[in-house]
Amino acid sequence: MADLTRREFLQIAGGATAAVGMLGVRPEDVHAEASDASPIDYERARAVPTICFGCTTHCGVIGWVEDGRVRKIEGNPLDPNTRGAICSKANGMISYTYAPTRIVYPMRRVGKRGEGKWERIEWDEALDEIASRMKALRDGGTPERFVFHYGRDKTKGFTKRFTDAFGTPNRLNRRSICSSNRRAPLMSFYGREFEWESQDVENTQFILNFGSNVMEAHQGGLFMVKRIVDARVERGAKLVTFEVRPSATASVSDEFHLVKPGTDGAIALAMAHVIVREGLANEAFWKRWANHPLENIRKHLEPYTPAFAERESGVSAADIERLAVAFAKAAPRCCTLSNRGSAKHYNGVQADRAIRMLDVLVGNVGEPGGFCLSSPRMWKNRYGQEGLPVVDQPAPAPGPLEPWKPGTRMFASLPAAVQERVAAFPEDWQKRYFGELATPSEYPLSWHWYPMRVGQLVYPYIREGRQKVEVYMSYTLGAAYGYPEATVAREVLRDETLIPFHVAIDISYSEQAALADIILPDATSLERWDAHSTNSYDLVPYTGIRQPLVEPLGEARPVQILLRDLARRVGGGMEHHFDFDRVEDYYRAWYENLPVSWDELKRRGIWQEAGRKKDYGLHERELPATELQGSATDAETGIIYRDGAKKQAIGIRVDAKALRGFDTPTRKITIHEPLFPLAARHTGLPLDDVNAKALPEYQPISGHEDLADDEFILTTFKWNVHTQGRSTYWKHQAEIVHTNDIFLSPETGRRLGLETGDEVTVVVRRPRGRTYRSGEDEPVGTFRNRVRLLNGMHAKVAACSHHAGHWEHGPVAQARTEEDPTARAGMSAELRGGDPDVPERIWWAKSEGGTGGGVAINDALPINPTPLVGGQCWFDNVCTLRKA
């Protein structure tokens, strides 16, 4: 473990504490627990760098450890993204590590599944039972009946190593719930390497923001906050935000324009119309790097006038004209931002493609201050860079799984309609098809570029019999609470004919774990190892290490040890892929080629090559001669293929130079994407649907037109102190935000006779369009909640966060001051806990006259995957509101 003295830490840290204060958190307020707020003795305390897991941004931090207990978290100034800043979630890691209701021993149910009756068992007993069931599947030739379903897995492929070694393709994620509608347009435009963008906001002059709440809750948002502030204060940059509510980002923008939900694409296309019409497009860049003629784009954009966009969105045509011109004139120091607000809609994939096209039109891609792409990879020499080695998993790694092709046993187990659809797929799609849970045939673009899965359909598909399951393992997954129509997840998890055996690996007693047969206690992020890398807003790739600050509490174990021991029990060669004794040894081997010692990496926590040039213009970099050896160039397209075979493109010849280009089939930016109509034809989606279009298009969301007076578009959002629904038992986070009132505009309140504090009944109807169970008359669900009137809300929008209303996770999450004898009957003392802060400090409990712990709304939100890509449309929900 890397230990630093106070003096050594200060030499590294510089202004880290000041950065904390800049984020609105006083340094003296950043402490562990109310019962542990005594001053830290820095003469005895140790500073250990690690990687935060308060959310998926994963910032470099330094933890202060005193007497074997983590006391405080501060930012690591060596992190090039955060530069030493943290947010309030960082110290939440302390809350969940020392939560009195945390699970720290293996548990087995002794009553009915979901009844809440448990007994403590030994690890050997738990692992032997799990391994025996898994071994039976493997020995019986049905390894696919083991399903591993995770929520937050940052082990950098360790769990995939486990499922691949076992032989199941069913390693399922929650990416469709979160980000697939955002990733698909980026990977379509720029290639698989770039699933995230890294806008150079620090050096920009103009930011067009479509539905991104970067100042509050955006993956990588903390990386951008200070950069945007500096650009605006020091360089006069302008931030323009299109949003449906007064978000934190909207509140600090130079301009904030209220938009009707799901109309961002119309605005972006109208701006593109203006840019082309006014001759402001960078025609040289477009001709050089876009895969479609600009003249065709000009004709394509003709219907998308500012007047059209005004009718759709409510943003004035004059503003659209003015902002489009200003954006183009700021090029190349301009960029777009987008996120859930633009993408989590039925038409969201095309909306983000339209937004991405704005950057290509003005030629800011890869330019200082522009829309930049920095991969988390450590680039190889073949890209003409400075020779930084790729950091990858240590050998041995399992071989590839066999696809479910016609004629195989697995293929024969599929429903006839699915077999017919898959058999008609192109050959390269068939090579990547592994069944309906991992690669759902109705959503081929969810797995074409990247394994994004369609998590919200896992439980319906299991119920429909598309995949027989014998052993289901959930890892830090909150589907039973947080998935849309979470009632479906709970129904399937309770049904032992559908899931005979459920193992939950978790830290807290979640709604998901409550429906398990065995619960295995995981180590927290302050007790474990992980490799770390992400895209760099510094535009120089870097890597970091998560390392344990303290030993796991009780008998909790890191998931790597848990899976290693399971693999050894299952045997059959599986154990050879887990030939390490300590997790540290595994990650030491991972980083063995890094040009810095293992001890130095641990001491610093972050490593980035000094003096390396920034990733501007990666597409313009020449391929080295060593990479060109044995290659061949297609005379018609200029594409350079490795080893002369037209399989792996490595570059493109432009003006007689062998350039890297983009990681797409044409090595150019894929404005015209034939995959969309091709996927539509193979799945039966009509070609007039917006999601089937090869060029970015706009189509109004069905059901959003002509809303009645009591009908509204229900949208959700994230609080900046919470990580979805997994942080409501973190004490300080819960004290700051513990409920989830419904935000409405004062105008709406007056019309409905509502005041702040009144309660309303919310009824959510099924979505329309070509999606799951669309158009059914029965509502999805109903809930009742308090209203808060808020200036700046769109008059037809109701906004409610989706993190609150837990019935598990302990008394802090539930906002109760008394023991619940029903839910806790028969539960072990380890789960009940004994918290000195309960009941005195839960002042927001209803029994204390407070608002309570909020309302669970996810049961009422429909499963609503975007066609082809499968991303959940969280923001399309149409509901009725009536005073309760």
Q: Would you state the structure tokens that stand for residue 460, as one six-digit string?
A: 């319906």
Q: Are residues 432 and 474 in the same domain?
A: yes
Q: How far apart are the C-alpha atoms of 77 and 364, rounded to whole Å? A: 29
Residue showing tokens 């400075």? 386
- In sign, the C-alpha dihedral spanning 231, 233, 235, 239 is positive
Mark which of 315, 342, 373 sits at the end of a domain: 373
Give the residue-averaged pLDDT of 65-86. 95
Confidence of residue 140 (pLDDT cuts 50, 70, 90): very high
Task: Examine residue 110 and state whether it is found in any structural domain, yes or no.
Answer: no
Q: Are residues 403 and 368 in the same domain?
A: no
Task: Examine residue 275 and state whether it is found in any structural domain, yes or no.
Answer: yes
Task: Examine residue 383 and state whether it is found in any structural domain, yes or no.
Answer: no
- In sign, the C-alpha dihedral spanning 784, 785, 789, 795 is negative
Percent of the chain at pLDDT > 90 equals 77
CA distances from 186 to 6, 200, 393, 673 (A): 43, 16, 26, 12
DSSP string, 674-743: THHHHHHHHHT--TTSGGG-SS----PPTT-SS--TTEEEEE----TT--TTS-TTSHHHHHH----PEE
Q: What are phi and psi of 54, to 5 degrees?
A: -70, -25
Domain count within the chain: 5
Q: How far apart are the C-alpha atoms of 489 and 457, rounded to whole Å? A: 9
Mark which of 316, 339, 373 sits at the end of a domain: 373
Residue 14 sits in a domain of what CATH number?
2.20.25.90
Residue 783 sits in a domain of what CATH number?
2.40.40.20
Task: Examine residue 307 and state whether it is found in any structural domain, yes or no.
Answer: yes
Q: Are residues 47 and 168 in the same domain?
A: no
Q: Taking 60 as the threshold, does the pLDDT of residue 820 lie above it?
A: no
Q: How far apart are the C-alpha atoms of 513 and 507, rounded to whole Å? A: 9
Q: How far apart are the C-alpha atoms of 97 and 866, rounded to whole Å? A: 37
Task: Tell how far CA 555 is from the center of its chain.
Answer: 30
Q: Taking 90 as the threshold, does the pLDDT of residue 771 lie above it?
A: yes
Exposed, middle or buried by CB within 10 Å (0-12, 13-18, 19+), for 40?
Answer: middle
Q: Taking 70 as the threshold, does the pLDDT of residue 487 lie above it?
A: yes
CA distances from 172 to 153, 175, 772 (A): 11, 9, 19
CA distances from 36 to 93, 94, 544, 840 (A): 14, 11, 29, 16
Q: Taking 70 as the threshold, does the pLDDT of residue 834 lie above it?
A: no
Which of 739, 740, 749, 709 is closest to 883 using CA atoms? 749
Q: Are residues 140 and 266 in the same domain?
A: no
Q: How far apart are the C-alpha atoms of 692 and 673, rounded to whole Å? A: 10
Q: Which 8-state DSSP code applies to residue 659?
A: E
Which of 810, 819, 814 is closest to 844 using CA atoms? 814
Q: Are residues 325 and 399 in the same domain?
A: no
Least confident of 97-111, 227-241, 415-429, 832-846: 832-846
Task: Examine residue 721 and state whether it is found in any structural domain, yes or no.
Answer: yes
Give the residue-averaged pLDDT of 320-331. 98
Do 317 and 306 touch, CB atoms closer than 8 A? yes
Task: Examine residue 384 and state whether it is found in any structural domain, yes or no.
Answer: no
| 749: Cβ contacts below 8 Å, ≥ 6 apart | 755, 756, 787, 789
Q: Would you state the structure tokens that stand for residue 426, as one six-digit string?
A: 């192109």
Q: Taking 90 as the threshold, does the pLDDT of residue 390 lie above it?
A: no
Q: Would you state the structure tokens that stand for residue 737, as one six-digit string?
A: 């935000």
Return the number of other C-beta atoms located less than 10 Å from residue 424's C-beta. Answer: 13
Confidence of residue 497 (pLDDT cuts 50, 70, 90): very high
Residue 429 sits in a domain of what CATH number?
3.40.50.740
The model's pLDDT over 593-612, given as tens digits with 9 standing for 90+, comes to 888 999 999 999 999 988 88
Do 351 and 312 touch, CB atoms closer than 8 A? no
List the domain range (segments joined by +) for residue 521: 122-179+390-608
Q: Are residues 490 and 518 in the same domain?
A: yes
The model's pLDDT over 541-553, given as tens digits with 9 standing for 90+, comes to 899 999 999 999 9
Q: What's the mean per-residue pLDDT of the chain?
A: 90
Q: Are residues 64 and 161 in the same domain?
A: no
Q: Are residues 511 and 552 in the same domain?
A: yes
pLDDT of residue 781: 97
Mark which of 40, 66, 90 sits at the end of a domain: 90
Looking at per-residue pLDDT, the higher value among 611 and 830 belongs to: 611
Q: How far apart are the C-alpha atoms of 724 and 221, rounded to whole Å? A: 15
Q: How far apart are the C-alpha atoms of 497 and 493, rounded to whole Å? A: 10
CB half-sphere exposure, 165, CA atoms < 13 A: 26
Least confident of 139-143, 669-673, 717-721, 825-829: 825-829
Q: Are residues 433 and 542 in the same domain?
A: yes
Looking at per-residue pLDDT, the higher value among 840 and 444 belongs to: 444
Q: How far apart are the C-alpha atoms of 287 and 182, rounded to whole Å? A: 26
The model's pLDDT over 210-230, given as tens digits with 9 standing for 90+, comes to 999 999 888 788 899 999 999
Residue 213 sits in a domain of what CATH number?
3.40.228.10
Q: Taking 90 as the threshold, does the pLDDT of residue 36 lie above it?
A: no
Helix (H, G, I), strand (E, B) or coil at 504: strand
Do 446 and 427 touch, CB atoms closer than 8 A? no
pLDDT of residue 384: 37
The phi-psi region of residue 45 (left if phi > 0; otherwise alpha if psi is between -120 and 50; otherwise beta) is: beta
Q: Taking 50 as the threshold, does the pLDDT of residue 7 lie above it?
A: no
Do 365 and 359 touch, CB atoms closer than 8 A? yes
| 547: Cβ contacts below 8 Å, ≥ 6 apart | 1, 2, 48, 49, 50, 529, 584, 602, 605
Q: Taking 60 as the threshold, does the pLDDT of residue 8 lie above it?
A: no
Omega within 30 of 0 (cis) for the link into 49: no
Task: Examine residue 186 and state whether it is found in any structural domain, yes or no.
Answer: no
Q: Which 8-state DSSP code applies to residue 240?
A: E
Confidence of residue 749 (pLDDT cuts 50, 70, 90): very high
Q: Would you state the structure tokens that stand for residue 720, as one six-digit string?
A: 């900046």
pLDDT of residue 446: 96
Q: Are residues 536 and 592 in the same domain?
A: yes
The model's pLDDT over 858-872, given as tens digits with 9 standing for 90+, comes to 999 999 999 999 999
pLDDT of residue 666: 95
Q: Are residues 548 and 582 in the same domain?
A: yes
Q: How far apart are the first and last CA of the chain?
A: 57
Task: Examine residue 676 and state whether it is found in any structural domain, yes or no.
Answer: no
Q: Are residues 218 and 362 in the same domain?
A: yes
